[in-house]
Structure 1
C-alpha cells in the first residue's frame, strides 16, 4: 500500500488532487441521485455531474501519469498539467452549479446568466482542446518508453483530440429554438428515450457516442498494450515488441475507423443500437479489415520468432 501511495504521489500533483476532487464529486452526485428527485429533459439533475466527474477523473489520472514521462521538458509538462487541472475544475464546477440550480448546463442560452455560463464552458472546452494538442505535440517529440508504448500514447492522444473535436458538431450542426443552441441528438429532440446512465438516444442519432469513443482511446490503447504484455508471458509471439507495435497500430487504425463510423451514423439520425443496413455493412468491413491486419501481424511475428535472427554472413577471405 505504501509503495502504491508513493507511486501515486510521484505523478503530477495538481492533476492527482483534481482526480481526488472528482472522486468526491462522483460520490456527492450519487447521493444527489438518491435524495434529489428533480429532472432535466427526463434525466436526474445529478446524472450529468456524476458522468463528468468519472470521465474527467479518468482523463486527469491518465495525464498525471503521462506527463511524468516527458523528462526533457518537465517544467512545460507541469505547467500544461496545471492548466488542464485548473480549466477542468472551472468547467466541471459550472456543470455542477447548473445541476444544483436545476438548470440545463449545455446549449442553454435561455437567460443572460445561462448564456454566459454556456459561453464560458465553450471557451474552456476550446482551451482544453488546444492544451491537449500541445501535450500531444510534446509526446511526439519525446521518447516515452519503448516503441509500442510511444505508439499507444501518441495514437491514443491523437484519437482523444479527434474525439474532443466532436463537441463542435453538437453546437455547429444542430441548433434548436426556445433558448437552446445546439443538441446532442440528431433527428430527435434532446431528452427523449435513451440508454441507461449514458443517456444516448435510442430513437435518433447521438453525437456523444463518437465523442465518448474518441476521448477514451487515450485509456483504451495503453490498456490494450498492457494486456498484450501480460499475455506475452504465456503466448511467445506477443512477447515480441514488433508484434505488439503492429497490433497497437492496427487497433488505433480500427479505433479511428470506428470514430468515423459512429459520427456518420449519428449525423444520419440513426440510433447506436438500431443500425441500418449501411452501418452494419460498414462495421462488418471494418471488423474484417482490422481482424485481417491483426492476423497478418501475428503470423509475421510468429514466423520471425520461430526462425530467430539470421546468423551473420562470414566475411570472405
Structure 2
C-alpha cells in the first residue's frame, strides 16, 4: 500500500497575482487618483459656472480663468499619468508612491491657485504678504515635485521598453521626451517671473510668461495625445507596419508643432 502523501495543489496563478496586487496597494492608489482627477475636473467646471455668474476678465493675473484652466488641466493629466504609467516596466511599489505624490501635488497646485482666486489676488509671483509668499513658493515647490516625478517616469520609459500595442513604446518615449520641453519651459517661466518679482518688477513678471505659454501647453500634452493615438490605432484592422507608420507620422507632426511654438516664443520673448 502506498502511504506517500500527494503533493498539495499549487495555488492558482490568478489568485496569487491578486494577493500581490492587494499587498502592494496599486489598485487602491489608482482608485484614489481617479477620484482625485475627477474632483479636480469638477472644480474647474464649477469655476466656469462661477465665471458665468460673477463675470470678470478672462486674461490677467487675477481671473477665474486660472482655477478653471488648472482644474481641467491637472485633472486629465493625473488620469493620463495613471494610465500611461501602467505600460512602464517598473516596480509596483515605486509606481504607487510616484502616483500618490503626483496626485497630492496636483491637489496642492490647484488648491493654491483656487484659494488665491477667491481672495482676489494673484497666485504666482505674489510676495505682497507672508501668506501670499507662502502660496507662491508652495506652487513653485509643487512644480519642482512634478518635474521630479515625471522625470522618474521618463527614465523608466527609456530604461526598459514599455509594454503595449504596436507603436505604444514609440508614443510613450516621444511623449515623455516632448514633455521634457514643457517642463523646461515651465521652469523657465517660474524662474523668470520670480526673478522679476523679487527685483521689484511684478507686472513684468506676469507678462514675461506669455511668450512661453503656447510652447508649455502644447508640449505638456504630447504624453497623452500620442499614446491615445497608439491605443486607438490598435482597435483598427490596420497592419502593424501601417500603425507604426501612423504613430511615427504623428510624432513628427507633434515635433513640428513644438518647434513652431518654440520659434514663436523666441521671436516674441
Distance 1:99 1:33 in 2: 11
71-80 or 119-128, which deviates more = 71-80
Out of 212, 220, 224, the position equivalent to 1:219 is 224
Matched, 1:156 2:175: yes
Q: Go from structure 1 to structure 2 and tell me whether the alpha carbon gap of 1:162 and 1:110 turns closer, same or farther (over 3 Å shift).
A: same
On the 8 A contact 1:64/1:81 being kept in 2, the answer is yes
Aligned to 1:169: 188
Identify unmatched segments of 5+ residues in structure 1. Answer: 1-8, 187-204, 234-238, 271-317
**TM-score, normalised via structure 1 length:** 0.67
Distance 2:124 2:107 in 1: 16
Identify unmatched segments of 5+ residues in structure 2. Answer: 1-26
Aligned to 2:205: 182
**Equivalent position SS for 1:45:** coil
Matched, 1:101 2:137: no
Q: Go from structure 1 to structure 2 and tell me whether the alpha carbon gap of 1:70 and 1:173 turns closer, same or farther (over 3 Å shift).
A: closer
Aligned to 1:21: 39
RCO (CA 8 Å, sep 6+): is it higher in 1 or 2? Answer: 2
**Equivalent position SS for 1:30:** helix
Distance 1:46 1:114 in 2: 17
On the 8 A contact 1:87/1:128 being kept in 2, the answer is yes
Q: Go from structure 1 to structure 2 and tell me whether the alpha carbon gap of 1:80 and 1:43 turns closer, same or farther (over 3 Å shift).
A: closer
**Equivalent position SS for 2:126:** coil
Q: Go from structure 1 to structure 2 and tell me whether the alpha carbon gap of 1:44 and 1:95 turns closer, same or farther (over 3 Å shift).
A: closer
Deviating beyond 4 angstroms after TM superposition, the runs of 4 or more aligned structure 1 residues are: 38-44
Q: Go from structure 1 to structure 2 and tell me whether the alpha carbon gap of 1:224 and 1:146 turns closer, same or farther (over 3 Å shift).
A: closer
Matched, 1:124 2:147: no
- Return the structure number with greater helix share: 2
Q: Go from structure 1 to structure 2 and tell me whether the alpha carbon gap of 1:107 and 1:264 turns closer, same or farther (over 3 Å shift).
A: farther
**TM-score, normalised via structure 2 length:** 0.77
Aligned to 1:244: 243
Task: Note the aligned Cα RMSD (angstroms).
Answer: 2.7
Q: Go from structure 1 to structure 2 and tell me whether the alpha carbon gap of 1:90 and 1:171 turns closer, same or farther (over 3 Å shift).
A: closer
Distance 1:263 1:115 in 2: 31
**Equivalent position SS for 2:206:** coil
Q: Residue by residue, what CA displacement relative to the aligned partner does 1:172-191 show, whole Å, maximum 9, x if unpaired?
A: 446364445733557xxxxx
Map 1:201-220; keep pairs closer than 5 Å: 206-220=211-225
Q: Go from structure 1 to structure 2 and tell me whether the alpha carbon gap of 1:75 and 1:254 turns closer, same or farther (over 3 Å shift).
A: same
Distance 1:131 1:245 in 2: 28
**Equivalent position SS for 1:207:** helix
Q: Go from structure 1 to structure 2 and tell me whether the alpha carbon gap of 1:165 and 1:130 turns closer, same or farther (over 3 Å shift).
A: same
Out of 158, 164, 170, the position equivalent to 1:145 is 164
Distance 2:40 2:258 in 1: 27
Q: Residue by residue, what CA displacement relative to the aligned partner does 1:137-189 show, whole Å, maximum 9, x if unpaired?
A: 22332531134111112211221222122112223446364445733557xxx
Matched, 1:254 2:253: yes
